[in-house]
Amino acid sequence: MNLFTYARATSAADAASKFQPAAKFLGGGTNLVDLMRETIERPTALVDVTGLSSAIAEGPQGGLLIGAAARNTKVAEDTLVRTRYPALSRAIVSGASAQIRNMATVGGNLLQRTRCTYFYDDEGSSCNKRQPGQGCDAIDGFNRNHAVLGASSSCVAVHPSDMCVALAAFDAVVHIQRDGQELKIPFGDVHRLPGDRPDLDTTLHPADLIVAVELPPLSFSARSTYRKVRDRASYAFALVSVAAALDIKDGKIADVRLALGGVAHKPWRASKAEAMLRGGPATEDAFRAAAAAELADAEPLSHNGFKIELARRAIVAVLVELAGVEA
């Protein structure tokens, strides 16, 4: 049995004062509580931060500012989110069940851990993410759901979040409290690739508290969408997912945002494809070439080679949809 204390915070400052070594901040608990049941996580204290801000409002420079305690359902149903950033709303709705979305918080979603079965198998499998230096059974095991981009010899797990893929595409900024100060971290700098330390999912310090997520103003964010390819229609993690926003002027791509899920240890910003598309024609051939360039360095494992072609097709399909061109 893992004994722990519980305290409910009334503010970010109160949460920081209640934090102690080996503690965890608790949001909706939809991932952390599962990990505690499986003894993967063994915190000595839980600091409940669901009392922090859950507001969704205009950001200081435009855009939106979303409190870390906002429930996923609230974000997905918010009028400003649905009209200005539809890809985010669609990503959230495509993830998990309604009951889980009603509990899960924005801050917790950012910090959820991989659903790799080897990571969860504490008694029968080796996992460097769970215990550094132990090995990675997924590399030579059943790895159909695992990474094809950015993996390492230490870990091939993928990040499970749908919401985070959309946030990556929109260049979100994460507001955290650290040592009594509020810092702003670009979303792409929050999550890590595995390298030789796959046990470190993010660049955050243990006592860092996420207090808000900011969506910067983007003139074409309303022209965005999210597509998730999975084994069944609901309650399944992505094999491949795509969040995209597209700005077309006079038949040319003025700007584009593109991120992938289900393919890497972190939400994968498709920077190569974006750079190749900007200034070029909004045609299916251009979309195919950009998708191929983004996935040129993909490295399949024994059971997941299909993900590379699946990702190519998903990218093209989403961009064709946004561009309104004939497929």
Percent of the chain residues past pLDDT 70, beyond the cut:
99
List pLDDT tens digits, range 254-285: 999 999 999 999 999 999 999 999 999 999 99
Percent of the chain residues past pLDDT 90, beyond the cut:
95
Q: Where are the domains of the chain?
A: 5-50, 227-323
Confidence (pLDDT) at 182: 94
List pLDDT tens digits, range 294-322: 999 999 999 999 999 999 999 999 999 99
Q: Does the structure show a pLDDT above 80 at 1?
A: no
Report the alpha-carbon angle 106-54-43, nearest 5: 55
Please tell me which residue, 51 or 325, carries the higher pLDDT value: 51
Would you mind telling me the total number of residues written for the chain in this entry? 327
List pLDDT tens digits, range 44-60: 999 999 999 999 999 88
List pLDDT tens digits, range 101-124: 999 999 999 999 999 999 999 999
CB 26 within 8 A of CB 48: yes
The C-alpha atoms of residue 300 and residue 304 are separated, in whole angstroms, by: 6
Report the alpha-carbon angle 196-294-170, nearest 5: 85
CB 88 within 8 A of CB 167: yes
* Chain mean pLDDT for the chain: 96
Confidence (pLDDT) at 321: 97
CB 97 within 8 A of CB 168: no
Average pLDDT value for residue range 120-145: 96
Which CATH fold would you assign to the domain 5-50? 3.30.43
Which CATH fold would you assign to the domain 227-323? Enolase-like; domain 1 (3.30.390)
Please tell me which residue, 2 or 292, carries the higher pLDDT value: 292
Q: Does the structure show a pLDDT above 70 at 326?
A: no
Instruction: Kindly report the pTM of this predicted structure.
Output: 0.96
Confidence (pLDDT) at 325: 74
Confidence (pLDDT) at 234: 80
Cα Rg of the chain, angstroms: 19
Q: Does the structure show a pLDDT above 60 at 206?
A: yes
